[in-house]
Structure formats: structure tokens, C-alpha cells
Structure 1
Amino acid sequence: MNILGISAYYHDSAAALVRDGEIIAAAQEERFTRMKHDSCFPRNAITFCLNHSGVGADEIDFVVFYDKPFLKFERLLETYVSFAPHGFSQFRIAMPIWLRDKLFLKNLLCKELTKFNKQVDWRARLLFSEHHLSHAASAFFPSPFKESAVLTLDGVGEWATTSLAIGSGNNLEIIKEINFPNSLGLLYSAFTYYIGFRVNSGEYKVMGLAPYGEPKYADIIYKNLIDIKPDGSFRLNQDYFDYCAGLTMINNRFENLFGGKRRDPAEEITQRHMDLAASIQAVTEDVMLRLTRSIAKETRMKNLCLAGGVALNCVANGKILRDGQFENIWIQPAAGDAGGALGAALSAYYIHSRQPRVVNYEGDCMKGSYLGPSFSQKEIESRLNKLGAKFETLKDDIIFKICAQDISEGKTIGWFQGQMEFGPRALGARSILGDPRSPTMQKTLNLKVKFRESFRPFAPSILQEHVNDWFELDRESPYMLFVADIVKSRRIKNSEQVNQLFGIERLNLVRSEVPAITHIDYSARIQTVSKDTNQRYYTLLTEFYALTNCPILVNTSFNVRGEPIVNTPEDAFNCFMGTDIDILAIGNCYLKKENQDQALMRNYEMAFELD
């Protein structure tokens, strides 16, 4: 049975193909169109899934959309009526789009699917899943658990913003919900907007900025914005928000409450903004911990799965893990709306079609999340030649040694190997790599390669068998979704005078043996690397370890700020030539910057909008 899952028309469109319960392929549309968070119908992602799997469009048994537009329309109408006449301008903008396209989404989807095969009766094969059920299915069904509690937190689906589901075998049922307008995701996004970052894109910046501040505004948030019960359920005070019927996240009362206007994205980030970030991060962690503690007590489950955009808050995830309420936690690596496409397909297979589920107790079923396009060595060489690139083709044992040597000498490497990752994290297939021991690597990567704010931290990739030697983590973290601290023996103690520094002044302090991946609070967002899921990346790390006695590499996504992660060799070469990346390794092709035709150099600093 072949099932195609689709998410589209809101943000982060994607497609995923499931065959007899096995996840065969998945990709976000943005990687093909080069438009960050592309919301359009995922034509390119679907084409990839079909081509990669060798499945013809006529062989698709079901196409499943990841939410139910009629329920979402119901929520919009009820919200507009509740807030009328306020919000009429937003109503006037939204209604024509809904009445023309979104409300009759079945017609629109069938029209798009017909372009793949005109002979298929797509209407008979089209299903719709609920938004939070899609999220929950994306987390539970690929997990290594026979049964589990499943917590989904995001902005909003149809009505639900927070939900608890119970998964057992091939069954998954949502048993509790918190509904719009009460949303932890939208609360976090309101502060993202207020601090001057882009909603649905800049939330991870708030998380990265938080350790530079103190939660000085947490009491104001508790007293005015959110009422949290002991079990984690909550309500938001809508007097301070404008997302229900307006065109922005917050209103003037919100700005007055926190003592100033929203930060313009071009303005300097001050200590006040850092304290705001620390405050909303602390409140978010409080809500999530209360929720997970009450879920553990109520369900008596040993396992927890997480999904939804809020599940990408890896700092909070790390605290849930250390809280110890659950023996095992598994988080969908594509936890946002893109992952909804995968969950929709899986829900159709297991819930709609009632197919049996075989659990892989030795690991999950995501295949390391390496589910996207790949290119043969022959194809890579052909494409690079057409671009005019100058390269050597090296054997495996040579390219790994040379690249490890280059990194140890302070060079940055664009690493393009195998199948592209599904989800927002680069996991060693489309990555930019550096030496974690370098005290200047973080600044170099942020300012000269990524063209982004200097405060943003970088993640370590570490050989799985060495994680306990470097981090306070007792398990694998293959998807970079848990934050843990550097072990005390690896930290470098600073003088009391240095410890009096505040905010961004603390950025360049050397805090550990691996300063490039150590955040200012001694934490790191960890990716453990296993030879079972990514042999090539594991081999590179092994070579670097043999050379330096350090089993860690700096790993950041292969792109610049505002650009989707590179998908093709052409994308990789263009990014290489538009930044200060020193070396490019695509398959077995090895490229040095100084050997390239200078006429091919690009300026990538302003090539993409601010993220």
C-alpha cells in the first residue's frame, strides 16, 4: 500500500511517501523552490517522493492532507464573530482566499494531483487528517515504543493548540486538548515578534538569545498574560494580543506592559531584549514541565513522544528529559508542519486502514531522517563540470582524512553527502563543519559564513560512544533535539571579574575545551552520530578524533541566513562561492576555494531576506 502525505498552504509545505508502513521518502518544498518556509502545493517534493520510490502516481492508494480545512474555517469564523467589529480588515483579507481556495481544498488538491496523472480518480483516494492527529502520528508511529503518551504543542491546528494522545500498537487517540486562542506556541511567537524576529521562523533565535539574559519579566508574564494551573493547563489573557482578529501578534497594551515598542529588526539587540527572551523561555519551560509531570502521573506511561513546533525547543526538551518523569522520550525530527505530511500518511496506514504495526525496539523508523534527495557520484561530477567548478575526485579513505585535516587547521567545510535531511536540522548530510576547539569558529561562522547575528550558538556532532565523556547526557540524541551541559571536567573556569560581564559581552569567553559549541550557560544542542545511520559522517568524525583526540565537530546547516538548506550540488556550489567556506566536499568531489574561477564568486550576504 502506497500512501502520500501532504502539508501545504500555511507554512512549510512538504510531502512524504509511506509504503506498507515503511517511510520511503520525505522532503520540504522549500528545498526545491529555494523559498524559505514555502507554503505552496508541494509539487516538487511530491515529484521527488514518486521518483525516489519508483512509484507511479496511479499506484498511490491514498493521498492524505494533514488537516481539515472546514474545521479551521469554523474556527476562523467563530473567532471573527467573537471579536467583531474588531478585526474586520483581517476578515476582509482572509475571506476571499478561503472562499476561493482553502474552503474548497478538495477541489484544489484534486486539480493539482491531476497534473501527475489525469486518469486517476483522485477524489476517491483523497483523505483528510486532523492537524494534531497528524503531528501525534508523526511522533508515535516512527518511535521505538509499543505504547506511549504523545504531547503535541504548536501555534494552532484547526482548534487544538495543545493535545495529549495515547498510542498503543497501531492505535492512536487524542484524549485531551487545549484550544485556540490559548496557545503556548502563539505566546512564544508573540515574544518572537516583540523582540524583532520573524514569526514561524525566529523562535529558535529567542531560545538562543535567552541564556544571555535573566528572566526579569517572568512575573509580569505570569500576572498579566497567562494563567497556568498545576497540571500545566493554561489560559491566555487576550487583552494583550492581536492574533485572533488583527494583523499582528500583539497590541499596544502588550507594548506598554513591557515598557516599549516592538524592536525593529534593524535595531541593536539590547540587554532588555535578552531578558525578555530569558523570561518567555522560562515560562515556556514551566508550562511544559507541568504538562509532562501531570501526563506522567495521569497515564503512568514510561514513554513520551513530542511533536508540534514547540517540540523543537530543545532547551525545554532537555529539562523534560532531566526531570526524569519518563524513562524514554522520542521527538519527531520534523516536528513542525512539514512533519504533518508524514504523520498524515502514517495515520492513514495505521488508523484508517488498520494495518498492523511492527515496532523497531532497537531504534526508530526515521532512517536518521535522511529521507530526501541524493545524487550519484557521476551526476555530481557532471553537474559540477557544467558549473565550471574545479575539483578533484578522491577515494573514500583519502577524502575523509583530508577533510579532517582541513578542519583541524581551522578551515570551514561544506559537507554534502547522501540523502538530504527531512526537518529543520542539518544532521551531517547538508552541513557546514568546523573545529569545535577554535575560540573564533563561532564568530567566523556566524558573521562570515552564515551572515547572521553573532550570538547564535552552534551544535556539536559527537561520536555516539563518546557522548558521556563530554556532555551530561546518558543516551543518544541523533536529531539535535536535546540540550545538555558540558561535563564539568571539560569546562574552563573564568575569573570573578570576567564573570561580572553581562549579555553579549560574554560571547567571546572561552568556557570549555570546545568553545565553538559551548553556549554561555555551558550548554550545547547535541547530535550523536552512529555508523548505523550515517556511515560517511561517522567516518569523518572518527578521522578527526584520531587526529585531534576530540570526537566532536561543529555542525550547522549548509545555507546562509534566510536561505533553505541546500538541496542540489548547484545549491551547494553557489553557497560555497558566495560565502567564506574554505572547502567543499560533495560526494567524493573535493573543491578548494582558491582553485575556483573568481568570475564565479557571488555575494550571498544580501541574497536572502532576514530570517
Structure 2
Amino acid sequence: MYILGISAYYHDSSVAIIKNEHIIAAVQEERFTRIKHDSNFPSQSIKYCLNEAGITLDEIDYIAFYDKPFIKFERLLETYLTEAPKGFKSFLMAIPIWLKEKLFLKETLAREFTLLFEELNPKKNEKEFKAFKKRVIEKFMFSEHHQSHAASAFYPSPYEEAAILTIDGVGEWTTTSIAYGKANNIKFLKEIHFPHSLGLLYSAFTYYTGFKVNSGEYKLMGLAPYGKPIYSDLIKEHLIHIKDDGSFKLDMSYFNYTSGLTMTSNKFHKLFGGKPRESESEITQKEMDLAASIQNVTEELVIKLANYAKKLTGAKNLCLAGGVALNCVSNGKILKENIFENIWIQPAAGDAGGSLGTAYCAYYQELNNPRTINLNELDKMQGSYLGPKFSNEEIKSYLDKVNAVYEFINNEDILIDKISTQLASQKVIGWHCGRMEFGPRSLGNRSILGDARSSKMQSIMNLKIKYRESFRPFAPSVLREKVNEWYDLNTHSPYMLFVALVKKEKCYKMTTEEKNLFGIEKLNIQRSIIPAVTHIDYSARIQTVHKETNPRYHKLISNFEEKTGCATIVNTSFNVRGEPIVCTPEDSYRCFMRTQMDILVIENFIIYKQNQPKYYNKENWHNEFKLD
């Protein structure tokens, strides 16, 4: 049985395809269109998934969608009516789109699938196209938004039973839910409804501090250690009332997202002493303290919710999904509290993961198929390596087309030895190998790699390669078997979703003068023997690398350790600011040539920057390199 899951029309459109319980492929549309957070119908993702499965559109048994549009429309209408006459401008912008595309989603999807069918079958006639449209409508299934999230967290997990905590902005009505999963069933126990939303509260501060909502939240999280949580009490006194069980209510007079086109109201601005920071303007101590404060409140609330989920379910395992589950600092705090014996987080925890969740909802809940657990697997996600892979023939064809100069090395051991040597000499490596990752994190297949021991690596990568804010930390990849030697983490973290402290014996003590520094001044303090991945609070967002799911990446880090004694390297996503993570060899070569990376590896090809025909002055690479 083949089930195609779709998440679309809000942000981060994606597609997943499963064959019975097995995930064949999962991918975000942005990786093909190169439009970050692309929300359009994911036609290219569907074509890729069909190709990976080796089937046609007609061979799909069911098509599942990740939320229920009528319930969401009900919420929008009710909210606008409650707020009237406020929000009329927002109403006029939203309703036509809903009436044209989103409300009658079954018809919209049928039309899009029929167009795709016509594209893939150009020799068929109008009668056959109409017959297909009728067939495809009968295959549609719809899950509720939080049901899709919960399913994406529980069903691929390695647990027979678990508490499931889902926290995001909003789906139809639900913003936070606690459920209990056992075998093939998920039962929802508690919900918090719109407009009361932890995700939207965090996004309000994202907006107020000058970052982009739905993409800048991780910047706010990274900024938090530079500040002090001096506004935490103010937030809890005015913006949010939190109960002991983790339930909460927002004072909506401080927010504008229910009726306006902004997140925060004038009352919010008055409370915090001014208008929102202009995007790209200087980040001040105020923004750092606001980031620290909302992060502090978020952690307190998430821990209360986790405790209550434990009390409600009695489960020893916890599964997490929803956009807030990407807050790896909060996840690390739950882990440290020892509320549950085990925690598993969906690597595509945001809306992209809804495509996989809804496919599993259809298979297990709607069709009542049994669920099996393989105790020899980490989980069903296969390391989240679920996207496209390219052959050496395809890569060579592209590189020859653009006259790239490359070295082809068929022997993997020789290639690994060469690249680990270059890493040890502090070269920056673009690493494109194997299947692309599903979710927002690069996990060693579409990554930019560097030497974690380098005191200059964070600055080089932020300013000359990623073209992003200097305060942003970088994550380490570490051999799973060596994680306890380097980090205060007692579990595996294959999806880079836990933050933990660097081991004390690897750290340096700060001087009195260093302790008295404020804000961005803290950035230049060398805190450990791996400064490139040690954040200013001595923490790191850790990826454990497993031989079972990524043998080549594991071998690279092992070889690097043999040369240096260091079992951890820098791993950041292979992209520049404002662009999606690379997918194809073309994407990787373009990104490589536009930045100050030194070396690019694409499967068995090594490409040195200084040998390329389009080699420019370093300051001009990102401006001048163009390909027709």
C-alpha cells in the first residue's frame, strides 16, 4: 500500500510517501524551487517521491492532507467576527484566498493533481484526464493539524507507547496538545486553543526584536545567551498567565495577530519601551535581554507541560513535535529534568513534518493497520536521509557543463583521508553526499564543515560563508560513541535537537574582566578547546553521528579524530542566508562559488576553489559568480 502525505498552502510545503510502514521518501518543496519556506502546491516534491518509489500517480492508494480546511476557516471567521470592526483590512486580504483556493481544498487538490497527471501523461486525452480527476478525489483523506504533528512524532519513534506533546503556533483551533500513543492508536487528552499560543507568543517576540516570523525564531533562541532574563516577570505579569499544569492564557490586548497584519499591539510596545526593532538595524542589549526573557518563560512553560503529560499518561517515553519542538534549548532542559526516561523528537517538527504525520494517520488510524517496532533501529526515520541522491554520472555531467575543475577519487578511504587532512588544517569544506536530509537541519549530507578547534571558524563561517549575523552559534557533529567525552549529554541526538553543555574539562574559566563583558563583546572569549561550537553559555546544539545511518560521515569524523584527537567538528547547513539548503550538484557548486569555502566534495568529486575557472578576488565571489 502506497500513501502520499502532503503539507501545503501555509509555509514549508512538503511531501512524504510511505509503503506500508516504511518511509520511501520525504522532501520539502523549497529544495526544488529554491524559494525558502515555499508554501505552494508541492508538484516537484510529488514527482520526486513517485520516482523514488518507482510508481505512477495512479498507483497511489491514498492521498492524505495534513489539516482540515473547513475547521481552520471556521476559526478564522469566528476570530474576525469577534474582533470586528477591527481587522477589516486583514479580513479583505485573507478571505478571497480562502474562497478561491483553501476552503474548497478537495477541488483545489484534485485540479493540481490532474494538471500533474497531464504533465506526466501528455499523450492521454481529455476524457482520461477527467477520469483521473474523479479517481483521485476518492483517494483523499484529511487529518487535523495537531493529529498530523502527533502522528509524525509517535509513529516513527522507537516506542510502543509514549506521551506526545505538540506545541506550535496554531493549526485549526489547537495550539498545544497532550496525547497518549500506544501501538497504532493516538488518544488526545488535553488541548489549548487559539488565540492562546506559546508558538505565537514566541513569534511575537521574534517580530518585536526585528526578525522574520516563521523563520527567525531560531535566531532569537541563539541570541538569548547574550542577554539576561530581566523581562521574564513582566512577561508573566502582563502577557501570559501560567498555571501549574502548564495550561496558559494570553492577554490579547498586547497582541495584534488575531485581527491585524502585525504580531504586537501598541500596548505591547509601550510595555517594553518602544516600537519593534527595524530589520537589519543594530541589535542592542535590549533585544538580547528580551530574547533571554522569552526563552526563559518558554522553558518554564514547556517543563510544566512535560510534567503534566507525565502525570496524565504515566508513560516513560515522550515524543515531541510542532514548531516549538525545534527549540533545542527547551528540549535540553526537559532532558535534564529527567521527567521521562526517553525523549524522541521528529526532525521535521514544524509543518513540513505534517506530510509524514498525515500519511501515518491514514495508515494506522484510518485504515487500522498494525504497528511494528524494530528494536534494532534507532527509529523509522533512517537518519532523516529521505531526499534526493545523485549519481557520479549526473554530477560529472553538470561539472563538465560549467567547466569545473575537479579531482575524481573512486576510493572512499583515500577521499576521506584527503578531506580530514584539509579539515585539520582549518579549511572550510562543502560536503554534499548521499540522500538529502528531511527537515530544517543539515545532518552531514548537505553540510558545510569546519574544524571545531579553530578560534576563528565561527567568525569566518558567519561573515564570509553564511553571510549572516555574527552572534549566531554553530552546531557540532560528534561521534555517537564519543559524545560523553565532549558534552554533558547522556542520550543520542541524531537530529541536532538537544542542547547540552560542553564538558567542564574541555572548557576554560573566564577571567574577571571577561565575566564583566556585555552583549556581543562576549563573542570573542575563547571558552573551550572547541571554541567554534561552544556558545557563550558553554552550550552546544549537538548532532550525534551514527555509523548505522551515515557510515561515510562517521568515517570522516573518525579519520579527523585519528589526526587531531578531536571527535567533533563544525556542521552547519549548506546554504547562505535567505536561501534553502542545497539539493542538487548545481545548487552546491553555485553556493560554493559564491562563498569563501575552500573545498567542495560532491560524492566522489573534490573541487578546489583556487583551481576553478571562475575564480575571483575573494571579496567578489558572492557578487560576480553567475551561470547561465
1:149-168 superposed Cα distances (whole Å, 9 cap, x missing partner) = 10000000000000111110
What amino acid maps onto 1:104 in structure 2? F
- Tell me which residue corresponds to 2:120: none
**1:81 lines up with 2:81 in the alignment:** yes
Task: State the secondary structure of the residue aligned to 1:174.
Answer: strand
Tell me, in whole angstroms, the C-alpha distance in 2 between the residues paired with 1:314 and 1:469. 21
The match for 2:234 among 199, 208, 220 is 220
Task: State the secondary structure of the residue aligned to 1:462.
Answer: strand
- Tell me which residue corresponds to 1:442: 458
- Tell me which residue corresponds to 1:356: 370
- Tell me which residue corresponds to 2:140: 126
Task: State the secondary structure of the residue aligned to 2:607.
Answer: strand
Q: CA deviation at 1:130?
A: 0.4
Task: State the secondary structure of the residue aligned to 1:354.
Answer: coil
Kept in 1: contact 2:479–2:567 (CA 8 A): yes
- Tell me which residue corresponds to 1:12: 12
- Tell me which residue corresponds to 2:382: 367
**1:386 lines up with 2:391 in the alignment:** no
Tell me, in whole angstroms, the C-alpha distance in 1 between the residues paired with 2:395 and 2:551. 19
- Tell me which residue corresponds to 2:28: 28
Q: CA deviation at 1:65?
A: 0.6
Q: Structure 1 residues 332 and 577 mapped into 2: Cα distance closer, same or farther (>3 Å)?
A: same
1:101-153 superposed Cα distances (whole Å, 9 cap, x missing partner) = 11111101001111333343111001111000000000000000000010000
Tell me, in whole angstroms, the C-alpha distance in 1 between the residues paired with 2:190 and 2:474. 36
What amino acid maps onto 1:90 in structure 2? S
Tell me, in whole angstroms, the C-alpha distance in 2 between the residues paired with 1:387 and 1:14. 30
Q: Percent identity at matched positions?
A: 59
- Tell me which residue corresponds to 2:563: 547
Tell me, in whole angstroms, the C-alpha distance in 2 between the residues paired with 1:606 and 1:449. 15
Kept in 1: contact 2:327–2:497 (CA 8 A): yes
- Tell me which residue corresponds to 2:222: 208
Task: State the secondary structure of the residue aligned to 2:37.
Answer: coil
The aligned runs of 1:5-404 (5 Å cut-off) are 5-117=5-117, 118=129, 119-120=131-132, 121-362=135-376, 363-394=378-409, 395-404=411-420
Tell me, in whole angstroms, the C-alpha distance in 1 between the residues paired with 2:623 and 2:310. 47
Tell me, in whole angstroms, the C-alpha distance in 2 between the residues paired with 1:546 and 1:7. 44
Task: State the secondary structure of the residue aligned to 1:526.
Answer: strand
Tell me, in whole angstroms, the C-alpha distance in 2 between the residues paired with 1:131 and 1:483. 27
Tell me, in whole angstroms, the C-alpha distance in 1 between the residues paired with 2:562 and 2:623. 35
Tell me, in whole angstroms, the C-alpha distance in 2 between the residues paired with 1:336 and 1:409. 37
The aligned runs of 1:506-517 (5 Å cut-off) are 506-517=522-533
Q: CA deviation at 1:361?
A: 2.5
Q: CA deviation at 1:298?
A: 2.2
Task: State the secondary structure of the residue aligned to 1:112.
Answer: helix
What amino acid maps onto 1:146 in structure 2? E
Q: CA deviation at 1:378?
A: 1.4
Gaps of at least 5 residues in structure 2 are: 118-128
Q: CA deviation at 1:360?
A: 2.1
Tell me, in whole angstroms, the C-alpha distance in 2 between the residues paired with 1:112 and 1:599. 43
Task: State the secondary structure of the residue aligned to 2:116.
Answer: coil
Kept in 2: contact 1:9–1:41 (CA 8 A): yes
Tell me, in whole angstroms, the C-alpha distance in 1 between the residues paired with 2:612 and 2:621. 15
Kept in 2: contact 1:451–1:605 (CA 8 A): no
Tell me, in whole angstroms, the C-alpha distance in 2 between the residues paired with 1:263 and 1:338. 29
Q: CA deviation at 1:174?
A: 1.6
Tell me, in whole angstroms, the C-alpha distance in 1 between the residues paired with 2:340 and 2:286. 36
- Tell me which residue corresponds to 1:454: 470
Tell me, in whole angstroms, the C-alpha distance in 2 between the residues paired with 1:604 and 1:21. 44
Q: Structure 1 residues 99 and 211 mapped into 2: Cα distance closer, same or farther (>3 Å)?
A: same
Task: State the secondary structure of the residue aligned to 1:166.
Answer: strand
1:470-514 superposed Cα distances (whole Å, 9 cap, x missing partner) = 101111100000000011111011211111111110101110010
Kept in 1: contact 2:596–2:621 (CA 8 A): no
Q: CA deviation at 1:605?
A: 6.7
Q: CA deviation at 1:98?
A: 0.8
The match for 2:587 among 546, 571, 587 is 571
Q: Which one is further off, 111-120 or 504-513?
A: 111-120
Tell me, in whole angstroms, the C-alpha distance in 1 between the residues paired with 2:380 and 2:521. 43
Deviating beyond 4 angstroms after TM superposition, the runs of 4 or more aligned structure 1 residues are 599-603
Q: Structure 1 residues 334 and 2 mapped into 2: Cα distance closer, same or farther (>3 Å)?
A: same
Tell me, in whole angstroms, the C-alpha distance in 2 between the residues paired with 1:7 and 1:353. 20
Q: CA deviation at 1:385?
A: 1.0
What amino acid maps onto 1:15 in structure 2? V
Q: CA deviation at 1:266?
A: 2.2
The aligned runs of 1:486-565 (5 Å cut-off) are 486-565=502-581
Q: CA deviation at 1:578?
A: 0.1
1:287-323 superposed Cα distances (whole Å, 9 cap, x missing partner) = 0000101111221110000000000000000000010
Q: Which one is further off, 292-301 or 60-69?
A: 292-301
Task: State the secondary structure of the residue aligned to 1:101.
Answer: helix
TM-score, normalised relative to structure 1? 0.98
Tell me, in whole angstroms, the C-alpha distance in 2 between the residues paired with 1:374 and 1:441. 29
Q: CA deviation at 1:598?
A: 2.2
Q: CA deviation at 1:53?
A: 1.1
- Tell me which residue corresponds to 1:466: 482
Tell me, in whole angstroms, the C-alpha distance in 1 between the residues paired with 2:30 and 2:513. 47
Tell me, in whole angstroms, the C-alpha distance in 2 between the residues paired with 1:233 and 1:541. 44
Q: Structure 1 residues 606 and 250 mapped into 2: Cα distance closer, same or farther (>3 Å)?
A: farther
Gaps of at least 5 residues in structure 1 are: none
Task: State the secondary structure of the residue aligned to 1:185.
Answer: helix
What amino acid maps onto 2:314 in structure 1? R
